[in-house]
Structure 1
Amino acid sequence: MRKKTEARRQSFVQAAGRLFIEQGFGSVTMEAIAAEAGASKVTLYSYFPGKEALFEAFVVEAGKGGHEALVAAKDEMDPQASLMRVGMSYLELVTRPDVVAISRLIIGEAERQPQLSRIFYENGARHTLLSICSVLGNLMDRGLLRRTEVRKTGLQFKALCAAELVERQLWGLDAVPDIRLREAAVRDAIEVFLPAHLP
């Protein structure tokens, strides 16, 4: 029996991701994924029990590094600098082309494949929100932000940062926003958010 390798596993995840985005989750077969990765179906099944496990791995891969960058905003001593860092990390994550493609896929498949929404939420969106909340909670614990219900506050800050920027990209109206546009969006968000949440 051949030894499992991370490179082979990644080849299956990437092949599945490409096919899911191009053809939709329901249309893709395990056989097609194996062929796309240049392997046998037997080898594919030795790594993944089915398409849902592959989709989960694809979501996790798309978010790699993003959550760590969000939480790193705790290192900032100043609340404005911390919010700027977490806002920029958030926008950098959610405007990645592969993350946008997954979001579009979820919207298109939500009615036919509701389990995909759950997988995406648990392995992507939920982790993102928890990371933002951990930074805001840290600021509250240090007395730099007013104590509020942290999940609600995290959702508000996230929405202010995304504003029209993420929607327009999701709808295909705009390309990936450059750093200048992302910085402007986060500055605008902080301008609204910070006065309402200072102690």
Structure 2
Amino acid sequence: MRHRSEEKREAILEAAAQVFGEVGFERASMTEISARAGGARATIYSYFESKEELFFDAMLKTTAAEFEATHQALESGTENVEEALKRFGHHFLSVLYSPEVQAIRRVVIAEAGRSNLGQLCFERGVQKSDARVAEFLDRAILAGKIKPTNTKIATKHLCALLEAEFTDYFHFQIAAIINDQTINAAVARAVEVFMAAYQVSE
């Protein structure tokens, strides 16, 4: 029974990803999603509390592997903090500024004022990601690599620096050249500034 329930949940997520991808969040119909998943509309609500939760889980399913790889870049230890942060930064920007994830982020921003989708994505996405970065920085402090500091704030500084060269293009929907070369250059500059502020002086 449990196996069948997991299969049904996966079918709903797959159908939801298709519908959200085709018509967006606002126009997506729970009736259409349930029809594609092969079941009644009420069935969806036995797995997901709301359309917002379904959207988040469906989008997470399509990007989970990439985001996990992003945070795995910090699992190599604190021997070389600068290099670990550069690996993280490259994955972070490559995922965040991929066309697919940019589209998802714009939907979330547009819907944030009309529903709890923004809060849901912040709590289940941004905050969880920040916590993993902060844990790495905590380990770096214990290893004597960076100065004792509030790592929650340091995480925000790091992420803001990493995005600094691209965020205006995203917000104003202006085409920009975002590839491995431009990402690597931006990450190098961002990490240099971060380390200048936080690295323990030799």
Fold match (TM-score > 0.5): yes
Moved more, 91-100 or 139-148: 91-100
Structure 1 equivalent of residue 191 of structure 2:
190
SS in 1 for 2:145: coil
Q: Deviations over 1:109-159 (max 9, x none)?
A: 12211x111111111111121122122222111110111110111101101
Q: Partner amino acid for 2:134?
A: C
Amino acid at match of 2:39: S
CA RMSD of aligned residues (A): 2.7
Q: Report the residue type matching 1:129 in the other structure.
A: D
Aligned match of 2:111: 109
The residue number in structure 2 matching 1:60 is: 60
Is the aligned partner of 1:134 residue 2:138? no
Quote the Cα distance in structure 2 between the aligned partners of 1:96 and 1:27.
23
Matched, 1:9 2:13: no
Equivalent position amino acid for 2:16 in 1: A
Gap regions ≥5 residues in structure 1:
none
- Segment drifting more, 132-141 vs 42-51: 42-51
CA gap 1:144/1:22 in 2 versus in 1, 3 angstroms? same
Q: Give distance in 2, aligned partners of 1:160 and 1:149.
A: 17
Q: Which amino acid aligns with 1:118?
A: Q
What percentage of residue pairs aligned between the two structures are identical? 28
Alpha-carbon shift at residue 90 of structure 1 (Å): 1.6
Instruction: Report the CA distance shift for 1:5/1:124 in structure 2 as closer, same or farther (over 3 A).
Output: same
| Cα distance between partner residues in 1 of 2:148 and 2:3 | 52
Q: Matched residues in 1 for 2:121 and 2:193: separation?
A: 29
Instruction: Compute the displacement of 1:68 (Å).
Output: 5.0
Contact kept in structure 1, 2:96 and 2:102, CA below 8 Å: yes
2:162 maps to 161
Q: For residue 151 of structure 1, what is the aligned residue in structure 2?
A: 152
Please give the alpha-carbon distance, in whole angstroms, between the structure 2 residues aligned to 1:20 and 1:176: 27
- Equivalent position of 1:75 in the other structure: 76
The Cα offsets for residues 26-74 of structure 1, whole Å up to 9 and x where unpaired, read as: 4322111123x35232554554354233123124324413145314423
Aligned residues: 197
Structure 1 residue 105 displacement after superposition: 0.7
CA distance in 1, matches of 2:61, 2:6: 13
Moved more, 98-107 or 70-79: 70-79
TM-score by length of 2: 0.82
Are residues 1:85 and 2:91 paired?
no
Cα 1:166/1:24, change in 2 over 3 Å: same
- The farther-off stretch of 154-163 and 93-102 is 93-102
Q: Distance in 1 between matches of 2:8 and 2:177?
A: 30
SS, match of residue 87 in structure 2: helix
- Measure, in 2, the Cα distance between the counterparts of 1:59 and 1:171: 23
Secondary structure at the counterpart of residue 149 of structure 2: coil
Q: 1:69 to 1:142 in 2, by over 3 A?
A: same
Matched, 1:40 2:35: no
